[in-house]
Amino acid sequence: MRPRRGLDSSSVWAQRVRQLEQRLRTKEERIVVLETENAVLHLKLAETFPYILETVMNFSTSPVFFSLYQGLAGRCTSEVLQLYAAHGQQMKFQRSSAVTQLHVAIKRLKQDLKSLHSFALELSKDFQRQSKTCLYQVLAAVQGIQLQNEAMQMFQIKAFDLEQSLQEVTERYEKEKQKRKALHNSLIELRGNIRVHCRIRPLLPFDDAAGHSQDRQRSFSEKVAYAADDETILVKCSRPGHASVNKTFQFERVYNDLESQDAIFADVAPLLTSLLDGYNVCIMAYGQTGSGKTYTMLGPQLEGNLAFTTEEESELGIIPRATQEVFRLLSEKPPGSYWVEVSVVEVYNNEIFDLLAKDSCGKVFGIKRDVVTTREGKSDVPLLTHETVENASEFLHLVNKGLHLRVTHPTLVHAHSSRSHLVVTLNITTVVFGDNFGILWEDEQTSQRINKEASFTFTQKMRDNISTSSSRASSPVQLEATEKMKQVKTRLQLVDLAGSECVGMSGVTGAALRETSFINRSLSALADVLGAIAEQRAHIPYRNSKLTHLLQDSVGGDAKLLVMLCISPGQKYLTESMQSLGFGTRARQVQRGQVKKKNFPVPSKGK
Ligand code: ADP
Ligand code: MG
């Protein structure tokens, strides 16, 4: 059988060799046994031979038997000699047969050895072939690795180049960002710190007044306010018995009744960039009841429920969107370098109610607070609840709670939510490193202002935090206090003002008269404040109403104020609409006055 390749065949051959060796050993043992027997016979013969010779010699001395024994001895001798020869021959024969067997075995062994040899030869050839193949493979792999190494080196060089260009781009981006900041703020300055946008809501079913004749009803629901273009609103009305009205008003932006909440917010968003650049910002909705202030600021509301009710993202108003945007902008800053605190208050009958205050059982209830002016000349509401929020949804949850209270709290019961001003405040504290602090601000004026405002140290903040009524684990007290760290505090105030109509003053009595009187007083105080700012009077009468006192820091100074005038388009509301447009026009004049007097920062060279 020709041994097969591989491990199986070699083990078969090894077994065969073992068998042959076994047989060889058996034969050798047999030869040894035969040789031993042979030697014993030789020994016996050698022992017997002298005795026979002596006997023969003795017999030979006896004359009687001499001749007999001589013959016998001769015969015996010849027989012994014959036997001896026969024994020799037998031994010879035995030896030769063993040798023959051995020869046969050796021959077989040789044959096996030969086939083993040829098998080994084949194996070695096979091994050579295989090792050659392996060698080629190894060589190919080595070459591949070399190529890969080269490619890797190329990639490393490329990655290094890319890293460098990324660094350059990042540096350029940072520079551009600074430039953008400067330009953005210059642009906002140029537009004026007080801007007025005007939104005309669509005609709605409730615009048809009940209880009037059909003709009257038709004319009441007739549209009198139109957006002539993006910046002009046209009020056109001719009523029998009244002087006809045909008047245009110019604002920074006018939205027609079809414009979406998205479009409104798109123009508000840049202000939030200013907020993160260190300016206080206030966005307020002004207009008569039913003109769309709450819709614009919060979104659509259910009857009697002032909380956020919309599931539709696209329907959300400025307050939820602004918060989302603020958190989006903040997320670009290093984590832990900022925190946001929220307060929700309602100004009703010239009283401030803290809508986030909790009683000893943790139940929210509206508690009265007061507004004061600090030694630094800032407005502050002592003991006002500030809740730290980490994202827009936490914020919405909190504001929702406050808004529910606005509706349900017994001390705050009033017929219509439009009888109170709602002020949602986001206080944003950003930690800035002292060394970088200067370069953040392109113009000297702002830089000085911010540095002045940020003159707190961390240790002070930590002290503040201990005394503040509410702060959560996310409060950055954990941050290391170093002398180089400074805090920048900015404030975003989002205001849903009470309805501006002065209707029915003469006929109204009791609580309604009181409400209306307080609303009128606070709104005219707001108009007075804007007027005083316009005239650059030394004294701005912020303290004439709790509303203006509360809004002081985000209305005056270099704070950015956006007034969103809300207009109902129906003829029924003509008087109120004209009054609102008059307020907006006066507010605009404020910024015109300021623009003339202000020196606008020019971005420094090379930036
Ligand atoms: P205000 O807060 O000024 O009293 P609301 O925001 O409550 O007025 O609006 C009164 C009604 O008009 C609400 O039902 C509101 O959903 C609806 N409304 C206001 N503005 C719009 C608008 N732009 N598009 C559709 N509906 C509007
Ligand atoms: Mg409202």
pLDDT tens profile 355-391: 888 776 656 666 889 999 999 888 899 999 999 999 9
If asked whether residues 160 and 25 sit together in one domain, one would say yes
In a domain, 550, yes or no: yes
Predicted confidence band at 42 (pLDDT cuts at 50, 70, 90)?
confident
Q: For residue 292, say whether it is annotated as part of any ligand binding site.
A: yes
Single out the residue in 142, 169, 196 at which a domain terminates. Answer: 169
* CA 307 – ligand 1 centroid, Å: 14
In a domain, 321, yes or no: yes
Ligand nearest to the CA of 566: 1
In a domain, 180, yes or no: no
Predicted confidence band at 144 (pLDDT cuts at 50, 70, 90)?
very high
Question: Cα(424)–Cα(426) distance, rounded to whole angstroms?
Answer: 7
Question: Cα(546)–Cα(531) distance, rounded to whole angstroms?
Answer: 17
Yes or no: say if 573 and 291 are a contact pair by the CB < 8 Å rule: yes
Cβ partners under 8 Å of residue 327, min gap 6: 340, 391, 392, 395
Residue 199 CA, closest ligand 1 atom number: 23
In a domain, 76, yes or no: yes
If asked whether residues 305 and 450 sit together in one domain, one would say yes
Which helix (H) or strand (E) covers residue 423, if one does?
A: strand 421-433
In a domain, 203, yes or no: no
Question: Cα(577)–Cα(571) distance, rounded to whole angstroms?
Answer: 9
Ligand 1 interacting residues, C-beta cut-off 6 A: 201-202, 204, 287, 289-295, 300, 418, 499, 566
- Domain hosting residue 517, numbered range: 257-587
46-90: per-residue pLDDT in tens?
Answer: 888 788 778 767 766 767 666 765 676 677 678 778 887 887 888
Burial group, residue 198, by CB count within 10 angstroms (0-12, 13-18, 19+): buried
**How high is the mean pLDDT of the chain?**
79
Nearest protein CA to atom 17 of ligand 1, as residue = 292
* CA 568 – ligand 1 centroid, Å: 9
Single out the residue in 151, 169, 187 at which a domain terminates. Answer: 169
Ligand nearest to the CA of 301: 1
Nearest protein CA to atom 1 of ligand 1, as residue = 290
Q: Which two tokens stand for residue 89?
A: 């021959």
* CA 348 – ligand 1 centroid, Å: 21
Ligand nearest to the CA of 421: 2
* CA 411 – ligand 2 centroid, Å: 19
If asked whether residues 154 and 262 sit together in one domain, one would say no
Query: Mutual orientation of helices 546-555 and 510-534 as an angle, nearest 10°?
Result: 30
Q: For residue 417, say whether it is annotated as part of any ligand binding site.
A: no
Burial group, residue 165, by CB count within 10 angstroms (0-12, 13-18, 19+): exposed
Nearest protein CA to atom 12 of ligand 1, as residue = 292
Single out the residue in 149, 169, 189 at which a domain terminates. Answer: 169
Predicted confidence band at 9 (pLDDT cuts at 50, 70, 90)?
confident
Ligand nearest to the CA of 207: 1
If asked whether residues 164 and 262 sit together in one domain, one would say no
Q: Which two tokens stand for residue 98?
A: 């063993």
Which helix (H) or strand (E) covers residue 223, if one does?
A: none
- At residue 567, the pLDDT reads 95
490-527: per-residue pLDDT in tens?
Answer: 999 999 999 887 655 445 667 777 888 899 999 999 99
Q: For residue 593, say whether it is annotated as part of any ligand binding site.
A: no
Q: How many domains does the chain have?
A: 2
In a domain, 202, yes or no: no
If asked whether residues 279 and 400 sit together in one domain, one would say yes
CATH number at residue 565: 3.40.850.10
527-563: per-residue pLDDT in tens?
Answer: 999 888 877 788 999 999 999 999 999 988 888 999 9
What letter would DSSP give residue 349?
T
Q: For residue 570, say whether it is annotated as part of any ligand binding site.
A: no
In a domain, 96, yes or no: yes
In a domain, 415, yes or no: yes
Q: Which two tokens stand for residue 552?
A: 């002081």
If asked whether residues 453 and 556 sit together in one domain, one would say yes
If asked whether residues 294 and 148 sit together in one domain, one would say no
Instruction: Return the best residue to mutate from 198, 199, 201 for the ligand 1 pocket (most ligand atoms within 8 A of CB).
Output: 201
Nearest protein CA to atom 22 of ligand 1, as residue = 201
Name the amino acid, one letter, at 470.
S
Rg (CA), the chain: 57
Cβ partners under 8 Å of residue 319, min gap 6: 297, 298, 399, 424, 494
If asked whether residues 142 and 265 sit together in one domain, one would say no
Q: For residue 585, say whether it is annotated as part of any ligand binding site.
A: no
What's the start-to-end Cα distance of the chain, in Å? 93
Q: For residue 287, say whether it is annotated as part of any ligand binding site.
A: yes
More confident residue, 484 or 567: 567
